[in-house]
Amino acid sequence: MRVVISIGGSVLAPDLDPDRIEAHATVIESLSREGCDLGAVVGGGGVAREYIGAARDLGANEVQLDQIGIDVTRINARMLIAALGSGVDPTPPHDYEDAGDAIRRGDVAVMGGVTPGQTTDAVAAALAEYVNADLLVYATSANGVYDADPKTDPDATKFEELSASELVDVIAPMSRDAGASAPVDLLAAKLIERSGMRSIVLDGTDPARIERAVLRGDHDGTDIVP
Amino acid sequence: MRVVISIGGSVLAPDLDPDRIEAHATVIESLSREGCDLGAVVGGGGVAREYIGAARDLGANEVQLDQIGIDVTRINARMLIAALGSGVDPTPPHDYEDAGDAIRRGDVAVMGGVTPGQTTDAVAAALAEYVNADLLVYATSANGVYDADPKTDPDATKFEELSASELVDVIAPMSRDAGASAPVDLLAAKLIERSGMRSIVLDGTDPARIERAVLRGDHDGTDIVP
Amino acid sequence: MRVVISIGGSVLAPDLDPDRIEAHATVIESLSREGCDLGAVVGGGGVAREYIGAARDLGANEVQLDQIGIDVTRINARMLIAALGSGVDPTPPHDYEDAGDAIRRGDVAVMGGVTPGQTTDAVAAALAEYVNADLLVYATSANGVYDADPKTDPDATKFEELSASELVDVIAPMSRDAGASAPVDLLAAKLIERSGMRSIVLDGTDPARIERAVLRGDHDGTDIVP
Amino acid sequence: MRVVISIGGSVLAPDLDPDRIEAHATVIESLSREGCDLGAVVGGGGVAREYIGAARDLGANEVQLDQIGIDVTRINARMLIAALGSGVDPTPPHDYEDAGDAIRRGDVAVMGGVTPGQTTDAVAAALAEYVNADLLVYATSANGVYDADPKTDPDATKFEELSASELVDVIAPMSRDAGASAPVDLLAAKLIERSGMRSIVLDGTDPARIERAVLRGDHDGTDIVP
Amino acid sequence: MRVVISIGGSVLAPDLDPDRIEAHATVIESLSREGCDLGAVVGGGGVAREYIGAARDLGANEVQLDQIGIDVTRINARMLIAALGSGVDPTPPHDYEDAGDAIRRGDVAVMGGVTPGQTTDAVAAALAEYVNADLLVYATSANGVYDADPKTDPDATKFEELSASELVDVIAPMSRDAGASAPVDLLAAKLIERSGMRSIVLDGTDPARIERAVLRGDHDGTDIVP
Amino acid sequence: MRVVISIGGSVLAPDLDPDRIEAHATVIESLSREGCDLGAVVGGGGVAREYIGAARDLGANEVQLDQIGIDVTRINARMLIAALGSGVDPTPPHDYEDAGDAIRRGDVAVMGGVTPGQTTDAVAAALAEYVNADLLVYATSANGVYDADPKTDPDATKFEELSASELVDVIAPMSRDAGASAPVDLLAAKLIERSGMRSIVLDGTDPARIERAVLRGDHDGTDIVP
């Protein structure tokens, strides 16, 4: 099975904790031993947020901020690579072709961001499209897709299953504001829709959940079905 | 004044007509003589559509199709560069930094697409953000932003002016379908919103309209105001 | 057996027909299954001709025209790659070392042009030299090497076999004119001569002929012997 | 006057404080207005130290740690670039030729690290050599070169002036230990020696000191004379 | 006036003599002061011949030999760049676009070879085409184009003037043998023909002859006229 | 066993002798057959010295000289690659990641220099660190590490074994002068120290000694132990 895992920055590196990164590496190694071909795309997390805040104060424009964020995601990718040790492309690929090439050769590929104006959520969806993945997992700090923001709306209800098309409909209004309550970026949702990939949105703060979801389909997040 | 012009594929190259490309080059040269710093981002047009159709028949996935489309946009960029002759970066830049560098040195920069999953509309918005453009012009085959698809809805009304935030609200439902009636891509609209750039959406099939809009603010498309 | 196949633009893509590209892919897959290590170099065809014509009208110089032609050959390479699906380097290599590396790893490498002033015929010969190919096949729209242009001279006689040195002597005067009646580029012929590679020039419009020629030496084109 | 300034990580970014970075940008802009051609090389600081510590826990080897450190220095370079705004190469150059090219074109070049096994101190010396700088300034957290470590030895005496050759002699034993009390890396000192560049080692925590030292030769650090 | 000078390896570096290289740099500087925009393409000379001979003994194939030769031409380019000091692109460009870009910015561009299977003669012609040069000078060890090899045929007569088309006719049979008596490579001659560039073939062993030829049209080599 | 061999320029190429290069290739092939994963880093030798001398006369600065030296080391790497024929990365890697990638895939990687200011000794140590080599061999023109320069001091005594820390102490004063009597560069010694790699310094003029040292630990050079 070919799987792409998007590990949000808030999941992998809210702060720099080697144990948390190690735990994610352990899951990837375990999935790899079970025969999965794997790509991972990691976000920026706390360090990215700090750098971006400081750069904004210094007058950087939005594209410059995105570039700084991308650089941090690539360092985070190096951290996960260091934790994986072997069986992994030792350099974070900068485009889908290099990542796909690594996966074809039997390595795990760990990417960060690719270009300004595009989140790592969208990168993960495009990588999954490119390698014709069987499954795309979003390991986020939310535990699935809700019909409203569960942080502010006590009546928010989680979807167990959504079609990709419904996902776009649900995400679109949520991604309207800067304070983005959407668990997955809208562009990512549209890429999922156009490719018809099977996807899961789940709470990745305990990485063991990713493993169970991939290997046994056992999770309490949201299934996105083609 | 620093201006980025997005010339849609359907405007620059619905088919391969040197006269049409020459006419766009003439406008860019004229704007340059008037003192504008210029970036242009061109789409794929008819050739891209044909290649993508054939590649889809051959089993290419969506990312591969995007890559083929990007390659065609870069050839179209070379065509416009050839027509411009001098005062232009002779190679289509592949990222915002190279394009920005060319513009800083006084050259016109002509880009095509950048990465799969991102339209040339979005590239134009990101380039405009990156170079802190004063104006971003979308030269499309539509003549502005309507509240509905004017091709199918006789009551569709064109907006004379929209805030960037309203643009996103109007575009979002239109960009819902594959048959995309939106004159500007949703991601582009969001980049416009986050940067607060002044933008114009107009009918670019007669390139002289672009010149009048930039130099005199005279156009009958839609103004997007911060 | 290590084989490099040059598929002329007029053979692969006189126009954009997925079935024709698919037929070439089928032959390559079949040769690969038979144990051949394979490189393919594809030409520009009809789209290249149209772009080059339009760019010439726009004032592009010869090197710029070559660059546009190279870009089209690389898109054609992507088309063939899409048709091949697996077992192929997913990106058209831009130099011989990348192509050779892909072939060494067991992938088919599909290249387009490399640099202005050099045809894809010459690229195929150089790639064959670089990978020490056992056989170089020119799949052209002619069905072999003649002592005169068969289109204009009714007495033109096809050679069944030529030494590489004789090939250069025959080709040299033919490649004298722009209307180039030579089935193979002169530089390519000289590279064949210096390396002493076994080569075949045959009619590639029916790709099955390529397969028979490679596997059984059965063809009615011209054999070039060291 | 052509000047290269090495801004240590502990000086520019002990933590991420936009005001401190802004203050350094202000000095660079002021020197630029005074007619200096400028290159800057920045270190990693607190974020680098944290990332390297975590990566070491994850089992990264020394070269991987260096690569992570280099990535952080390049983000720091982007921060300083953002603060400079205009008149600066917008991308941190990765080698001396790109940096030298930017300086020749009248831009400030801001680099981070270049390759594993080489500190940013050494990068600054090599950049100064490459651009034939008139002056190389080390803005460090020490306020000059001492004959012993002033933090541990109360009798440590600061040199007002040293020859480059003496600098190497003084630095060599200090750079012996991991806890490196040397204000400048030994390889950097050797590059200074071989090129015979004039250099200053001074306390850069208040960037105004850099400006006074460059423009008026007024500083209380150590002068390295050829 | 825009001029490209091809300095053959046997002219620039039959052996490694700094005075000879300096003399060529002096001429280039002088032409630059006279207002010429300049590109230079240098050959491999004695060192290339030695390396290629040794590599052939080691079993390198022809493309590998070409690559080694290209590497040596690029070092020779660095030597000429060192001698020029300022006003020159400090890195030998690897393609025509980078070289053209340097020339447009007012620098001298010094290239070596570009790709296997293509001589530096052909590179010079392609660079001249690309930058729309007014004049292309071949500084060779011959003193013009003869109707036979003057080294072996006492009746060989030098042409004072040839059309580009006649040049191809004269060169073609000469370039037939490995012991190549042609003063200019056949592919180069064909590029000259297709572009209709004015060219001069002259004895470059005394570089002052290049200067007189460019500035005053005074030389006793062969003029190639469109 | 993973082994990195540093073959000094004075060992591989004091002059250009194919037999000497072949002899080194034979040893590498033999070690490879015995199951070693291998990286080699080669120096510049006589050609580098000649080019650097001439460039210095032409006014090149130290960084430019280093760049020319690096180019020559990479040609030397191509020579060794040509001699190795198969089972070797056909292109000399320019950084540790590419080299490490080739070794992971089962190829021998042959590098030259990487960046100005860093010797190939240091490159070999960094490559060994990066690939977590079990053994690093310095094949030099000295036959081990002495407590003084054996060329000038008749009482110089060779060490049979040194700790990495002692190596740095011994090397530091020797590397003080330009006439560098140190068998290994100081930066290399420090990299060995920080990584705790097992290393051997031996006389490599007869490459068979390298093979015996690697396979049987049998040599009369100096062992550096962690």
Residue C217 has phi, psi (to 5 degrees) of 65, 15
> Between chains, do B105 and E100 touch, taking CB under 8 Å as contact?
no
Flag whether residue C164 sits within 8 Å of chain E, measured between CB atoms.
Answer: no
Task: Say whether D115 and F118 touch across the interface (CB within 8 A).
Answer: yes
Q: Are F201 and F140 in contact (CB under 8 A)?
A: yes
Instruction: Tell me what the mean pLDDT of segment A50-61 comes to.
Output: 97
* Set of chain D residues whose Cβ sits within 8 Å of the Cβ of A75: 51, 68, 71-72, 75
Structure tokens at D131: 């651009």
C105 touches chain F (CB under 8 A): yes
Chain E neighbours (≥3 Cβ pairs under 8 A) are B, C, D, F
Contact of chains E and A by CB distance (3 or more pairs under 8 angstroms): no
Would you call E14 exposed, middle or buried from its count of C-beta atoms within 10 A (0-12, 13-18, 19+)? middle
The answer to which of C29-38, D175-184, F165-174 has the lowest mean pLDDT is D175-184
How large is the C-alpha radius of gyration of chain E? 16
Q: What is the pLDDT of residue C67?
A: 97
Alpha helical stretches, state H, chain B:
9-12, 18-33, 45-57, 62-84, 96-104, 120-130, 164-174, 186-195, 208-216
- Tens digit of pLDDT for each residue in A60-106? 999 999 999 999 999 999 999 999 988 999 999 999 999 999 999 99
Please give, rounded to a whole number of angstroms, the shortest distance from the CA of E178 to a CA of chain C.
9
Identify the pLDDT of residue A177.
60
Give the pair of three-digit tokens for residue A169. 């409909």
**Chain C interface mutation, best of B75, B79, B80, B94, highest count of C Cβ atoms under 10 Å:** B75
Give the number of other CB atoms < 10 A from CB of residue B160: 11
Q: How confident is the model at residue B180 (pLDDT cuts 50, 70, 90)?
A: low
Our CA angle for C72, C76, C81, nearest 5°, is 145
- In D, residues 1-40, which contact F (CB 8 Å cutoff)? none
CA geometry: angle D213, D215, D221, nearest 5 deg: 10
D54: pLDDT strictly greater than 90: yes
Rounded CA-CA distance E168/E177 in Å is: 15
Q: With a cut of 50, which residues of chain E have pLDDT below it?
A: none
C174 Cβ under 8 Å from any chain E Cβ? no
Nearest CA in chain C to F93: C97
Packing angle, helices D45-57 and A18-33, rounded to 10: 40
- Cβ contact D91–B105 (<8 Å): no
Residues in chain A closer than 8 A to C89 (CB atoms): 101
Q: How many CB pairs under 8 A join E and F?
A: 80
| Reported confidence tier of residue D224, pLDDT bands at 50, 70, 90 | very high
Give the count of alpha carbons within 13 A of A65, CB side only: 19
The neighbours of chain B, by the rule of 3 or more Cβ pairs under 8 Å, are A, C, D, E
CB contact under 8 A, B63 and A122: no
CA distance B97 to chain D (A): 7
Q: How far apart, in whole angstroms, are the C-alpha atoms of residue A207 and residue A7?
A: 9
Predicted local confidence at residue F149, as pLDDT: 86
> Torsion-angle region of residue C87: left (phi > 0), alpha (psi -120 to 50) or beta?
left
∠ Cα C20 C22 C23 (to 5°): 65
- Does residue B208 sit at the C interface (CB-CB below 8 Å)? no
The band of D182, judged by pLDDT with boundaries at 50, 70 and 90, is: confident
- CB contacts < 8 A, D to F, total 69
pLDDT band for B177, please (50, 70, 90 cuts). low
| D195·F61 Cβ contact <8 A | yes
Look at E90 and D101 and tell me if their CB atoms are within 8 Å.
yes
Chain B interface includes C134 (CB < 8 A): no
Distances (CA, A) of C92 to B71, C88, D92: 12, 10, 30
Chain F interface mutation, best of D41, D52, D62, highest count of F Cβ atoms under 10 Å: D62
* Chains in contact with chain D (at least 3 beta-carbon pairs closer than 8 A): A, B, E, F
Candidate from D62, D132, D172 with C-beta closest to F172: D172
Cβ <8 Å between C117 and E132: no
Please give the Cα distance from F170 to F182 (Å, whole number).
Answer: 9
Residue A129 sits at the chain B interface (C-beta within 8 Å)? yes
Please give the residue that has the higher pLDDT: either D36 or C153: D36
Per-residue pLDDT at D177: 60
C105 touches A: beta carbon within 8 Å: yes
Is the Cβ of D105 closer than 8 Å to some Cβ of chain E?
yes
β-bridge mates for residue E82, sequence order = none
CB burial readout B134-152, b (16+ within 10 A) else e: ebbbbbbebbbbbeebbee
Cβ(F195)–Cβ(F225) under 8 Å? Answer: no
Please tell me the predicted confidence (pLDDT) of residue E223. 97
CA distance E145 to chain F (A): 32
The tens-digit pLDDT sequence of chain F (226 residues) is 999 999 999 999 999 999 999 999 999 999 999 999 999 999 999 999 999 999 999 999 999 999 999 999 999 999 999 999 889 999 999 999 999 999 999 999 999 999 999 999 999 999 999 999 999 999 999 899 999 888 888 899 999 999 999 999 999 888 776 556 788 999 999 999 999 999 999 999 999 999 999 999 999 999 999 8
Answer whether B touches A (≥3 Cβ pairs < 8 Å). yes
Q: Which of E61, E132, E187 has its CB closest to that of C117?
A: E187
Query: Is F71–E51 a contact, with Cβ atoms under 8 angstroms apart?
Result: no
The position carrying tokens 């990066």 is: F130
- Taking the Cβ of residue B142 and every Cβ of chain A, the question of whether any pair is shorter than 8 Å is answered with no
Burial (Cβ within 10 Å: 0-12, 13-18, ≥19) of residue F148: middle
Arithmetic mean of pLDDT over chain A: 94
Rounded Cα–Cα distance for residues D55 and A82 (Å):
7
For C93, the closest chain A residue by CA position comes to: A97
Would you say residue C180 has pLDDT above 80? no
**Partners of F2 in the beta sheet?**
F37
> How high is the pLDDT of residue B17?
96
Lowest mean pLDDT among B17-21, B180-184, D65-69: B180-184
Tell me if chain B has a CB within 8 Å of the CB of D85. no
Residue of D nearest to A49 (CA): D16
| Percent of residues, chain D, with pLDDT higher than 70 | 98
Give D91→chain B minimum CA distance, Å: 7
Which region among B163-167, D68-72, F111-115, F178-182 has the lowest average model confidence (pLDDT)? F178-182
Do the chains contact at C91 and A97, CB–CB below 8 Å? yes
| Chain-chain contact of C51 with B16 (C-beta, under 8 angstroms) | yes
Q: How far is CA F141 from CA F9, F11, F38, F182, F200, in A?
A: 9, 6, 21, 11, 13
> Which residues, other chains included, contact F184 with Cβ-Cβ below 8 Å and sequence gap of 6+?
F121, F138, F140, F145, F167, F171, F201
What number is the average pLDDT over the span C102-130?
A: 96
pLDDT at position E182 is 84
The whole-chain average pLDDT of chain D stands at 94
Position A125, amino acid: A
* Residue B193 binned pLDDT confidence (cut-offs 50, 70, 90): very high
Is there a contact between E174 and E142 (Cβ–Cβ < 8 Å)?
no
* Chain B residues whose beta carbon lies within 8 Å of the beta carbon of residue C22: 58
- The helix or strand, by DSSP H or E, that contains position E136, with its residue range, turns out to be strand E135-140
Rounded to two decimals, the pTM is 0.95
Q: Which residues of F touch A90 (CB under 8 A)?
A: 97, 100-101, 104
Whether chain F has a CB inside 8 Å of the CB on E49: the answer is no
Q: Is the pLDDT of residue B162 over 80?
A: yes
- Sheet containing strand A222-225, edge to edge, reads A109-111, A37-42, A2-7, A135-140, A199-203, A222-225, A161-163
Q: Of C97, C125, C99, which is closest to residue C191 (Cα–Cα)?
A: C125
**Interchain contact E72–C (C-beta under 8 A):** no
In this predicted structure, what is the pLDDT of residue D151?
A: 84
| E168 interaction partners in chain C (CB closer than 8 Å) | 176
CA A129 to chain centre: 14
For residue B33, give every residue at least 6 positions away whose Cβ sits within 8 Å of its Cβ, in sequence order, or none.
Answer: none
**Interface residue A100 vs chain C (CB under 8 A):** yes
Residue with the two structure tokens 């923001």: A149
Contacts of F63 in chain D (CB under 8 A): 96, 126, 129-130
Mean pLDDT of chain E: 94
Whole-angstrom Cα distance, residue A139 to residue A150? 17
F106 CB within 8 Å of a chain C CB: no
Does A50 sit within 8 Å of D79, measured CB to CB? no
Mark yes or no for CB contact D90/B105 under 8 Å.
Answer: no
∠ CA(C92), CA(C94), CA(C96), 5° rounding? 105
Question: Tell me, what's the ipTM?
Answer: 0.95
- Nearest residue of chain C to residue F82 (CA atoms): C130
Asked if F91's CB is within 8 angstroms of C97's CB, the reply is yes
Beta bridge partners of C3: C38, C135
Find where tokens 């069987």 sit. Answer: A134
The per-residue DSSP string of B36-69 comes to: -EEEEEE--HHHHHHHHHHHHHTT--HHHHHHHH
